[in-house]
């Protein structure tokens, strides 16, 4: 059996909205199962399509559920376990949270810690994209189809100031090291108003999003390390009050201790050494 994970950088026009495109390819003979994988919460939305007939399975309520051919996952704070049975290719579009209301005029709040099939969220307008990539053997052609579809959505973009979208970007820029009090002061809105509006848009609080982003940056900081990191150094670097605070937060988002995650990184979706392919200028 073989497993590949690749990321593809979006074109310049779409980089404010799309973090990356990705391909996960599990290849085997017959119906052999992939190693159990765990998706961690990284503060993004995911539009995911199976490119062939086989589907992946996700574990919910202690039962394995076959995933739809194409589905959309909202912001998550929980880790999700999944596996493939037989050769499976999954293609994903990783979106920044503010992109869903901006490009599609669709709220993300109902999808917090949840996913749904594409048609339930977007109606039939997404079928054109799903049909155009299904069965394509060339991943570059898949990426190009996704680019063409998303670039067309830019026509829906409204040039207006939105403090919730600005708050989301500022939290990411600060790598989660920005208090909600400082954020509300910077944006000239009350903390209560920011929290209420943020939850209306995304289904969670700015504080939770801030914690997810800080966790993501801490997690990604040691993906390429070959020796066990000093967790006290990691906790200080990313603004945790102490090592115990870092470990509690890490367990919240992974259901495991950082040392266990480091020693078993092959079981996590964004594996070390992932290949970033720059297909656009």
Task: State whether 200 and 71 are in the same domain.
Answer: no
pLDDT in tens, 57-81: 999 888 999 999 999 999 999 999 9
42 CB contacts (<8 Å, ≥6 apart)? 212, 216, 270
Report the percent of the chain where pLDDT is more than 70.
94
Task: State whether 70 and 201 are in the same domain.
Answer: no
The whole-number pLDDT of residue 29 equals 85
DSSP annotation of 264: T
Given a cut of 60, whether residue 274 has pLDDT beyond it is: no
The whole-number pLDDT of residue 269 equals 56
Q: Could you tell me which residue, 53 or 270, shows the higher pLDDT?
A: 53
Report the percent of the chain where pLDDT is more than 90.
69
CA-to-CA distance for 89 and 199, rounded, in angstroms?
Answer: 34
DSSP annotation of 185: H
Task: Quote the domain boundaries for residue 87.
Answer: 2-157
Give 280's pLDDT tier (boundaries 50, 70, 90): very low
> What is the mean pLDDT of the segment spanning 76-98?
93
Give 270's pLDDT tier (boundaries 50, 70, 90): low
Is 223 contained in some domain? Answer: yes
Domain total of the chain: 2
Task: State whether 35 and 149 are in the same domain.
Answer: yes
Task: State whether 119 and 231 are in the same domain.
Answer: no
Mean of the per-residue pLDDT values for the chain?
90
Give 278's pLDDT tier (boundaries 50, 70, 90): very low
At 74, is the secondary structure helix, strand, or coil?
Answer: coil
Is 244 contained in some domain? Answer: yes
Which CATH number does the domain housing residue 83 bear?
2.60.120.10
Give 268's pLDDT tier (boundaries 50, 70, 90): low
Task: State whether 127 and 175 are in the same domain.
Answer: no
The whole-number pLDDT of residue 199 equals 95
Given a cut of 50, whether residue 35 has pLDDT beyond it is: yes
Q: What share of the chain is helix, strand, coil (3-state, %, to 5)?
A: 45, 20, 35
Q: Which of 118, 141, 157 is the last residue of a domain?
A: 157
Is 44 contained in some domain? Answer: yes
Give 228's pLDDT tier (boundaries 50, 70, 90): very high
The whole-number pLDDT of residue 161 equals 80
Can you list the positions of beta strands (E) in the chain? 2-9, 18-27, 37-39, 45-50, 56-60, 63-66, 70-73, 80-84, 88-95, 115-117, 275-278
97 CB contacts (<8 Å, ≥6 apart)? 43, 44, 45, 75, 108, 168, 201, 202, 209
Starting at the earlier edge strand, list the strands of the sheet with 56-60: 37-39, 80-84, 56-60, 63-66
The whole-number pLDDT of residue 257 equals 92
DSSP annotation of 167: H
The whole-number pLDDT of residue 279 equals 44
Under 8 Å between Cβ of 167 and 185: no
Task: State whether 138 and 170 are in the same domain.
Answer: no
Helix (H) or strand (E) holding 101: helix 99-104
Per-residue exposure over 148-168, b if at least 16 CB sit within 10 Å of its own CB, e if not? ebbeebeeeeeeeeebbbebb
The whole-number pLDDT of residue 277 equals 46
Under 8 Å between Cβ of 123 and 72: no
Task: State whether 39 and 89 are in the same domain.
Answer: yes
Task: State whether 12 and 136 are in the same domain.
Answer: yes
Q: Which of 123, 157, 191 is the last residue of a domain?
A: 157
Q: Which of 132, 157, 182 is the last residue of a domain?
A: 157
Under 8 Å between Cβ of 65 and 58: yes
CA-to-CA distance for 51 and 231, rounded, in angstroms?
Answer: 39
Given a cut of 80, whether residue 160 has pLDDT beyond it is: no
Is 276 contained in some domain? Answer: no
Is 280 contained in some domain? Answer: no
At 64, is the secondary structure helix, strand, or coil?
Answer: strand
| Residue among 143, 210, 208, 134 nearest 171 (CA) | 210
Is 275 contained in some domain? Answer: no
Lowest-pLDDT range of 66-70, 170-174, 233-237, 260-264 = 260-264
> What is the mean pLDDT of the segment spanning 18-33?
90
Task: State whether 59 and 134 are in the same domain.
Answer: yes
Task: State whether 59 and 85 are in the same domain.
Answer: yes
Region for 62 from its dihedrals, namely left if φ exceeds 0, alpha if ψ lies in -120 to 50, beta otherwise: left
């Amino acid at each position: 059996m073989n497993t590949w994970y690749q990321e593809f950088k979006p074109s310049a026009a779409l980089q404010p909205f799309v973090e990356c495109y990705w391909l996960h390819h599990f290849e085997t003979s017959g119906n052999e199962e992939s190693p159990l994988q765990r998706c961690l919460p990284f503060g993004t939305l995911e539009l995911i399509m199976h490119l062939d007939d086989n589907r992946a399975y996700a574990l919910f309520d202690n039962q394995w559920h076959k995933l739809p051919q194409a589905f959309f996952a909202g912001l998550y704070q929980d880790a999700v376990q999944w596996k493939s049975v037989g050769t499976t290719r999954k293609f994903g579009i990783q979106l920044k949270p503010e992109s869903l209301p901006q490009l599609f005029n669709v709220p993300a709040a109902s999808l917090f810690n949840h996913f749904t099939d594409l048609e339930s969220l977007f109606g039939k307008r997404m079928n054109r994209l799903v049909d155009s990539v299904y069965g394509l053997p060339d991943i570059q052609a898949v990426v190009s189809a996704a680019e063409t579809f998303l670039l067309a959505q830019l026509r829906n973009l409204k040039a207006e100031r939105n403090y919730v979208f600005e708050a989301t970007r500022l939290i990411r820029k600060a790598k989660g090291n920005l208090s909600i009090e400082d954020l509300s002061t910077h944006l000239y809105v009350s903390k209560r108003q920011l929290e209420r509006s943020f939850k209306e848009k995304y289904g969670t609080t700015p504080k939770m999003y801030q914690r997810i982003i800080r966790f993501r940056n801490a997690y990604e900081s040691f993906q390429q390390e070959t020796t066990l990191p000093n967790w006290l150094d990691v906790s200080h670097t990313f603004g945790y009050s102490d090592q115990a605070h870092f470990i509690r937060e890490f367990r919240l988002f992974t259901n495991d201790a950082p040392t266990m995650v480091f020693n078993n990184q092959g079981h996590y979706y964004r594996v070390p050494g992932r290949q970033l392919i720059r297909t656009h200028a």
